[in-house]
Amino acid sequence: MAIKTYRVSMSAGGQTALDKGMVDSFRARLRGTLLTAEDDGYEAARRVWNGMVDKRPALVVRCAGTADVIAAVNFSREHGLLTAIRGGGHNVAGSALVDHGLVIDLSGMRSVHVDPGRRLARVEGGARLGDLDHETQAFGLAAPVGLVSATGVAGLTLHGGMGWLLRKHGLSIDNLSSVEVVTADGQLRKASQSENADLFWAIRGGGGNFGVVTAFEFRLHPVGPQVWMAVPIYPLEQAEDVIAGLRDYMAKAPAELMTLGVFWNAPEAPEVPERYRGMPVVIALGCYSGPFDAGERIIAPLRKLGTPIADLSAPMSWVQAQKFLDQDYPDGAFYYWKSLYLDRLDGEVIRALAKHTRNRPSPISSIDVWMLGKATVGASPSESAFYKRDAPYMLGIEANWHDREKNEANIRWARTLVEEMKPFSRDGIYLNFPGHMENKEATLQAAYGPHLDRLRAIKAKVDPADLFSGLLSNSPQTAVRTGIG
């Protein structure tokens, strides 16, 4: 039977019926494409990186440029539709999609333009980290972003952005000079320190609650072309020595060295003796992006923290370093990631992390200790919405698995670990590793602390009808269906 109306969820709750003529005339105004459940490409368009996410938007607007974004925002506002924004589609909670609502999908807007003289890059709102690295490295430059090249620049940046350049150049948001954003009234605005400064403050850490960012302008830094990766792999039994040694070395290491203590399994790599492959290990994973000649010497102590079973440390191009972990995060597997900041990393904490590594229900899950040092303190806490800048370590808890039957065991593992680590944490969570954004109010408090009231006031001003369904919205979002609370 031919479709006559589309039932679409509204941001205020309930549903509205849009007749086919209305939807077709909206489609005709776009340079990009509008997909509904009847269209080829719809199934692919409703998939995101996390295979747990199974949402069915009513309308997906694949924008070809800013004009399409403006048209989509206007259409959504005029009909009061529940609206999500998709950048790289890598948010662990699947927030790029809304069930039965409208998705403003920027995956076709990935251009990056570099001005090498001014060391600036203008990056479209759907670009991936790999797009940015590829373009900037042509000029020996880089922007501080994250560790896996398929991740979207937009989502990563809007909640902070941590990567290999963190200790030297701060968070991704600390390197933003301006953004172009289509706000809920359909206007394209520029926001920077000197223009729409409140909006610029909110966007740097406040997520996709304030409008659709069509372009980010980043300040760039000379990096590479060659950097040193440190990848010594130690048996889990040596975790206490290795992590304590890493902690002590990082307290005095140059800012160009960024590391994570990774509790994981030995990879199926030829360099790893067969008997150790798949065994629980701890890795002093690092990247030194300073003067190349100094790199081998600077990472050397990381390779002697114990007796490695294998050592994959090597020089490589910056672009390769940015892809070093790519294969470990395949599209469509199941993921549940959480975070919390740690104030201490002593024997008690390390032993607890080793214990939870042993009892992971899935061998591909990991625990990452991000050695932040004073990196995030570079900017003052009041400079942007990103609040937590004084913790020396951050814990990234990554439950990764393939079997739907194991949802509950894996999610429980991550949640139990978070609870056990709370005594070692004053406060704060990192919203780029947000679980499934359950317990919304507690999550917001933990992430924004004293900044939450100001964020809410800015949201009420720039998005009075609560169009954009970010964490600050009151809209009835559907959580990821896990079957457990």
Ligand X SMILES: Cc1cc2nc3c(=O)[nH]c(=O)nc-3n(C[C@H](O)[C@H](O)[C@H](O)COP(=O)(O)OP(=O)(O)OC[C@H]3O[C@@H](n4cnc5c(N)ncnc54)[C@H](O)[C@@H]3O)c2cc1C
Determine if 90 is a binding residue for ligand X (CB under 6 A). Answer: yes
Using CB under 6 A, which residues numbered 92 to 111 contact ligand X?
92, 95-96, 106
Determine if 262 is a binding residue for ligand X (CB under 6 A). Answer: no
Using CB under 6 A, which residues numbered 413 to 452 contact ligand X?
432
Position among 101, 146, 205, 261 found at the interface with ligand X (CB under 6 A): 146
Piece in contact with ligand X (CB under 6 A), picked from 53-61, 84-92, 221-229, 316-324: 84-92
Pairing assessment for the beta strands 83-86 and 102-105 based on DSSP bridges:
parallel
Minimum CB distance to ligand X, residue 159 (Å): 6
What DSSP designation does 457 have?
H
Q: Are 35 and 107 in contact (CB under 8 A)?
A: no
User: CA 472, CA 455: separation in Å to the nearest integer?
Assistant: 8
Determine if 130 is a binding residue for ligand X (CB under 6 A). Answer: no
Count H helices, E strands: the chain?
A: 14, 22
Minimum CB distance to ligand X, residue 185 (Å): 15
CA atoms within 13 A on the CB side of 384: 31
Q: Identify the CA nearest to 295 among candidates 320, 319, 314.
A: 314
Q: Which of residues 116 and 363 has its CB atom nearest to ligand X in the complex?
A: 363
Q: Which two tokens stand for residue 183?
A: 């706000």
User: CA 173, CA 169: separation in Å to the nearest integer?
Assistant: 10
Q: Which of residues 191 and 310 has its CB atom nearest to ligand X in the complex?
A: 191
Q: Which of residues 245 and 470 has its CB atom nearest to ligand X in the complex?
A: 470
Q: Please list, in sequence order, all residues whose beta carbon lies within 8 angstroms of the beta carbon of residue 153, skipping any fewer than 6 positions away.
A: 87, 88, 123, 125, 127, 128, 129, 131, 132, 145, 172, 216
**What is the per-residue DSSP string for 306-345?**
S--SEE--EEEEHHHHTTTTGGGS-TTSEEEEEEEEES--
Determine if 86 is a binding residue for ligand X (CB under 6 A). Answer: yes
Q: Which of residues 95 and 289 has its CB atom nearest to ligand X in the complex?
A: 95
Determine if 257 is a binding residue for ligand X (CB under 6 A). Answer: no
Using CB under 6 A, which residues numbered 458 to 477 contact ligand X?
470
Minimum CB distance to ligand X, residue 52 (Å): 12
Using CB under 6 A, which residues numbered 43 to 82 contact ligand X?
48-49
Phi, psi of 387 (to 5 degrees): -100, -40
Determine if 84 is a binding residue for ligand X (CB under 6 A). Answer: yes
Minimum CB distance to ligand X, residue 1 (Å): 34
CA angle 134, 339, 230 (to 5 degrees): 50
Determine if 162 is a binding residue for ligand X (CB under 6 A). Answer: yes
Determine if 455 is a binding residue for ligand X (CB under 6 A). Answer: no
Q: Which two tokens stand for residue 195?
A: 């223009």
Determine if 125 is a binding residue for ligand X (CB under 6 A). Answer: yes
Determine if 88 is a binding residue for ligand X (CB under 6 A). Answer: yes
Residue ranges that bind ligand X, judged by CB under 6 A: 48-49, 84-92, 95-96, 106, 125, 146-148, 151-152, 154-156, 158, 160-163, 207-208, 212-213, 329, 432, 470
